[in-house]
Amino acid sequence: DTGVSQDPRHKITKRGQNVTFRCDPISEHNRLYWYRQTLGQGPEFLTYFQNEAQLEKSRLLSDRFSAERPKGSFSTLEIQRTEQGDSAMYLCASNSNRQGQFFGPGTRLTVL
């Protein structure tokens, strides 16, 4: 296990298309987080899972965004009808209990 992995690393799409990103957390971690980072900003929290339960969603997560963690292992983040404002780095992180979070390399989304 080499840490949190994310796929794809880069995604270019046209406005209006749907995209899906995948995150594989560190295997023994029960908590999984999604963040979004735009240029010049720190990461911003989007949503959080404990095992398979989605326990919190940010107001940043509009109705076009949906996240799942079906078996409490990997997670997917889907964006429907993408807009140019969705262009950002999408980061996944995981941890257990009261640890600091371990981040993946991110998926960079560009919406044309």
Partner 1 sequence: AQRVTQPEKLLSVFKGAPVELKCNYSYSGSPELFWYVQYSRQRLQLLLRHISRESIKGFTADLNKGETSFHLKKPFAQEEDSAMYYCALGEGSNYKLTFGKGTLLTVNP
Which residues of this protein are in contact with partner 1, per CB under 8 A? Answer: 3, 31, 33, 35, 40-45, 48, 50, 55-56, 91, 95, 98, 100-106
Distance CA 25, CA 6 (A): 9
* Complex with partner 1: residue 60 or 112, whichever CB lies closer: 60
Q: How far is the CB of 105 from partner 1 (least distance, A)?
A: 5
* Complex with partner 1: residue 40 or 70, whichever CB lies closer: 40
Q: How far is the CB of 21 from partner 1 (least distance, A)?
A: 15
- Region of residue 85 (left: phi > 0; alpha: psi -120 to 50; beta: else): alpha
Distance CA 61, CA 45 (A): 9
What is the token pair recorded at 12? 């270019």
* Complex with partner 1: residue 13 or 50, whichever CB lies closer: 50
The runs of H, that is alpha helices, within the chain are none
